[in-house]
């Protein structure tokens, strides 16, 4: 069941039922514009990652500002976007299983849909699905550029797999997927540069070896919010797959800039609004937002603009706050904004975004691909 | 949008699309029966906690085996259950906010609905909502019995709050809520006994002080899967609020029995079924189940009946496996069952349960209150 929304347009923010997923629309639009401005001089394009927002509304706003399309991780996300009119979708991930591939191939009739592979068995399965559906699917070869997750070895192995794809009359060689996930959250610029330098070199070498075999890469995709400023000027990467930049989370905000200060490229635009539901002791308060309301896999949430209040522990439906001795504890019923430690899995818990501006609810947007598991 | 189910009845388990939330029906029914058998001689009743399962189907199965009703933590959960015919619901939590209380009071026309309070301001707000709706709401006083979360102090403070409730013509004093959350996962029997001994003493003292004021406690509720065998024979607690027992998770399975062995009271009945989507190295495989598919707040999931394979890291949509050197890595496309570290927030990520028995899908049940945030 889709849950009823926690707000109505026109309400004051403090009237929104909690926990609720807020977008600060001013900060959000700033982030959209900022990314477009940062990429404009680089020659690299944005293919924003929809695994962060899972929203057709936000996808279209990104495309309106120059994004070539969207990335997704799952067929269910590709379906939600294609059904919502997004015309160009890359599944930046391997898809394994005949039923999923049949659904993906079916989508190719209403949108441009590409997918990744790192194994010849996957390529054969994608080929079979494309043949059955009577479509031709672009397939990118995913190479491991240092993250040590999915991906075939860069160089000759990747070239062999690309040749296998290009030789199929049901497939099109789509290029390289070269995302370095673990580089995104390295804290210093030097660490991020070192990691991405390796990714760029592996990608460049593979692109050149492919060219020697007569294979061009329409897409060399990768990069995230933590590193896109490096890949975008590499001359190798063509598409930036940043997702979190639209919202920012507490963990990304712990990345540092060249001067060692917290990086300020984007603004916090996503919040979990929560209510103080109990004040059992003078300097302890309990919020109605715990594990089911906010992801803690990248650290506990941070109370927005209240350095005197720390979120110190979560249980399923409760968040415990410690209030500094010199300050007044929040009152029963008071609402506080939390900055999630990690945006993507926080968003995936909610059915609705509540867009706020100037203290008022301006819009409700569904989290269209929420729970899109398979 | 409700996501389409990942399976159809009659399918083989290995045909289920992944990630999917499986119930092993044999183990699940064993757990239901075992709890009923354990409580039968104690005099305490089960009021199973629906925050674990969020399912009207499972609620009715528990009630059919003797549960007096269900606990929930949120108004949205109470709505899902009441709309699905569950007749007796306790919100074992504080509810703050006029719109939530109005919804709760409205439910009192179709089900018996009680709620907790730990503050006179909450009582006044519940009273106003009950008066507006023209209903009379039972309110339990939540006391802090050692968990240090919500709850008023046991003893005189609790008695004062109970008198405030009993004095209202729109409310009924419903008894005491005396749950000791942090005791549930203490690893040794001695630690759990020590914690619950304090909870029992605080509850007994408060019950006696209430009785001296002419107030009887229809309910003294608390206990969870980790400790209900202690509270149920205390002579004070009347209702056991265990939830996780129906499924068990990897974290509860780390509790030890009196002999220091892993406690074997209940069986693992809940699994996340996942597919091997990449085998990038000889002893590394990647599953399609990461943070969005399984909660990691109480530890990483455990690969079921495969001690040779460890789930070593999660990202949003990937789970990395390390395979012991002496064993063969799982094949691309192979499906593995994961035991979640923590059931409750794992369940809340899914729209559907897939019930399996003897390797076949027997049923699909919706997670009725999934995402019930507010």
Q: How far is A265 from chain B (nearest CA, A)?
A: 23
Residues A250-259: what's their mean pLDDT?
A: 91
In sequence order, the 6+-apart residues with CB closer than 8 A to the CB of B155 are B202, B205, B206, B209
In sequence order, the 6+-apart residues with CB closer than 8 A to the CB of A41 are none
- Across the interface, do B278 and A315 touch by the CB < 8 Å criterion? no
Tokens of A2: 């889709």
Contact B36, B46 (CB under 8 A): yes
Tell me which CATH code domain A43-248 carries: 3.20.20.10
Residues A176-205: what's their mean pLDDT?
A: 96
Sign of CA dihedral B307, B312, B315, B320: negative
Task: Please state, in angstroms and rounded to a whole number, the distance separating the CA atoms of residues B284 and B311.
Answer: 10
Q: Which of B18, B370, B373 sits opposite A293 (nearest CB)?
A: B373
- Across the interface, do B151 and A366 touch by the CB < 8 Å criterion? no
- Across the interface, do A350 and B368 touch by the CB < 8 Å criterion? no
- Across the interface, do B6 and A370 touch by the CB < 8 Å criterion? no
Q: Which of B3, B280, B345 sits opposite A316 (nearest CB)?
A: B345
- CB contacts of B158 in chain A (<8 Å) are none
A162 pLDDT more than 90: yes
A329 pLDDT more than 90: no
Task: Please state, in angstroms and rounded to a whole number, the distance separating the CA atoms of residues A33 and A41.
Answer: 14
Query: A137-146, pLDDT tens digit by residue?
Result: 999 999 999 9
What pLDDT sits at residue A132?
98
What pLDDT sits at residue A1?
64
Neighbour count for residue A200 (Cβ, 10 Å)? 23
3-class state of residue B58 by DSSP? helix
Q: Measured in Å, how far apart are chain B's first and last C-alpha atoms? A: 18
- CB contacts of B17 in chain A (<8 Å) are 97, 99-100, 374
| Phi and psi torsions of A345, nearest 5° | -75, -15
- Across the interface, do A3 and B76 touch by the CB < 8 Å criterion? yes
- CB contacts of B301 in chain A (<8 Å) are none
- Across the interface, do B342 and A374 touch by the CB < 8 Å criterion? no
Neighbour count for residue A37 (Cβ, 10 Å)? 11
What pLDDT sits at residue B174?
98
Task: Give the residue among A83, A43, A89, A95 at the shortest CA–CA distance from A63.
Answer: A89
Q: How far is A327 from chain B (nearest CA, A)?
A: 20
- Across the interface, do B368 and A1 touch by the CB < 8 Å criterion? yes
Q: How far is A154 from chain B (nearest CA, A)?
A: 12
What pLDDT sits at residue B211?
98
Q: Measured in Å, how far apart are chain A's first and last C-alpha atoms? A: 18
Length of chain A counted residue by residue? 374
Write down the residue that tokens 């969870």 correspond to: B224
User: How many Cβ contacts (< 8 angstroms) between chains A and B?
Assistant: 181
Task: Please state, in angstroms and rounded to a whole number, the distance separating the CA atoms of residues A340 and B120.
Answer: 32
- Minimal-distance CA residue of chain A relative to B117: A278
What pLDDT sits at residue B7?
97
- Across the interface, do A371 and B373 touch by the CB < 8 Å criterion? no
- CB contacts of B349 in chain A (<8 Å) are 348-349, 371, 373
Label the pairing between strands B112-117 and B88-94: parallel
Query: B184-210, pLDDT tens digit by residue?
Result: 999 999 999 999 999 999 999 999 999
- CB contacts of A284 in chain B (<8 Å) are 148
∠A362-A367-A370 over CA atoms, to 5°?
160
Task: Give the residue among B238, B234, B272 at the shortest CA–CA distance from B348.
Answer: B272
Helix (H) or strand (E) holding A204: helix A189-212
Q: How far is B206 from chain A (nearest CA, A)?
A: 17
In sequence order, the 6+-apart residues with CB closer than 8 A to the CB of A74 are A51, A91, A93, A95, A369, A372, A373, A374, B317
Q: How far is B150 from chain A (nearest CA, A)?
A: 6
- Across the interface, do B295 and A291 touch by the CB < 8 Å criterion? yes
Share in percent of chain A as helix, strand, coil (round to 5): 30, 25, 40
Residues A298-308: what's their mean pLDDT?
A: 96
- pTM across the whole model: 0.96
What pLDDT sits at residue A262?
86
3-class state of residue B333 by DSSP? coil
- CB contacts of B242 in chain A (<8 Å) are none
What pLDDT sits at residue B183?
95
∠A215-A216-A218 over CA atoms, to 5°?
140
Helix (H) or strand (E) holding A310: strand A309-314
Q: How far is A193 from chain B (nearest CA, A)?
A: 22
What pLDDT sits at residue A2?
73
∠B240-B245-B250 over CA atoms, to 5°?
135
Share in percent of chain B as helix, strand, coil (round to 5): 30, 25, 40
- Across the interface, do B278 and A151 touch by the CB < 8 Å criterion? yes
- Across the interface, do B93 and A317 touch by the CB < 8 Å criterion? yes
Contact B57, B85 (CB under 8 A): no
- Indicate the domain borders of chain A: 13-20+264-366, 43-248
Tokens of A238: 């063509």
- Among the four given CATH numbers 3.50.30.30, 3.40.190.10, 2.40.37.20, 3.40.605.10, the one describing domain A13-20+264-366: 2.40.37.20
Task: Please state, in angstroms and rounded to a whole number, the distance separating the CA atoms of residues A162 and A173.
Answer: 6
Residues of chain B with pLDDT under 50: none
- Across the interface, do A332 and B95 touch by the CB < 8 Å criterion? no
Query: A93-103, pLDDT tens digit by residue?
Result: 999 999 999 99
Query: A103-146, pLDDT tens digit by residue?
Result: 999 999 999 999 999 999 999 999 999 999 999 999 999 999 99
Sign of CA dihedral A71, A77, A80, A83: positive
Q: Which of B1, B283, B300, B369 should we substitute to test contact with A (largest number of A Cβ atoms within 10 Å)?
A: B1
What pLDDT sits at residue B1?
63
3-class state of residue A78 by DSSP? helix
- Across chain B, where does the E strand assignment appear? 20-24, 45-49, 69-72, 88-94, 112-117, 137-144, 152-153, 171-177, 219-222, 239-240, 270-281, 284-287, 302-303, 309-314, 319-323, 335-339, 352-357, 360-366
- Across the interface, do A3 and B372 touch by the CB < 8 Å criterion? yes
Residues A60-68: what's their mean pLDDT?
A: 98
- Across the interface, do A349 and B372 touch by the CB < 8 Å criterion? no
């Amino acid at each position: 069941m889709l849950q009823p929304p926690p707000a109505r347009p026109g309400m004051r923010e403090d009237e929104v039922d909690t926990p609720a997923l807020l977008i600060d629309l001013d900060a959000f639009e700033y982030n959209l514009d900022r990314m477009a401005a940062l990429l404009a001089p680089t020659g690299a394009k944005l293919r924003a990652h929809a695994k962060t927002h899972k929203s057709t509304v936000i996808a279209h706003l990104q495309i309106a500002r120059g994004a070539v399309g969207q990335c997704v991780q799952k067929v269910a996300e590709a379906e939600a976007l294609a059904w919502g009119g997004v015309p160009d979708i890359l599944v930046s991930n391997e898809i394994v299983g005949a039923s999923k591939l049949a659904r993906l191939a079916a989508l190719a009739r209403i949108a441009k849909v590409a997918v990744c592979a790192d194994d010849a068995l996957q390529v054969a399965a994608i080929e079979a699905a494309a043949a059955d559906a009577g479509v031709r699917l672009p397939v990118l070869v995913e190479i491991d550029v240092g993250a040590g997750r999915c991906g075939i070895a860069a160089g000759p192995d990747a070239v062999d797999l690309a040749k296998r794809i290009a030789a199929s009359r049901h497939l099109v060689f789509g290029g390289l997927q070269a995302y370095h996930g673990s580089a995104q959250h390295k804290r210093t610029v030097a660490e991020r540069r070192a990691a991405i330098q390796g990714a760029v070199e592996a990608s460049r070498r593979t692109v050149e070896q492919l060219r020697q075999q007569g294979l061009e890469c329409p897409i060399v995709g990768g990069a995230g919010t933590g590193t896109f400023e490096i890949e975008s000027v590499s001359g190798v990467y063509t598409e930036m797959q940043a997702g979190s930049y639209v919202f920012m989370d507490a963990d990304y905000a712990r990345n540092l800039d060249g001067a060692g200060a917290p990086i300020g490229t984007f603004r916090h635009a996503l919040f979990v609004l929560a209510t103080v539901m109990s004040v059992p002791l003078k300097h302890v308060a309990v919020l109605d937002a715990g594990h089911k309301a906010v992801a803690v896999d990248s650290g506990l949430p941070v109370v927005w603009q209240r350095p005197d209040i720390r979120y110190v522990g979560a249980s399923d439906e409760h968040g415990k706050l410690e209030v500094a001795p010199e300050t007044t504890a929040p009152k029963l019923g008071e609402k506080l904004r939390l900055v999630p430690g990690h945006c993507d899995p926080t968003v995936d818990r909610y059915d609705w975004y509540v867009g706020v501006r100037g203290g008022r609810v301006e819009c409700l947007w569904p989290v269209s691909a929420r729970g899109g598991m398979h």
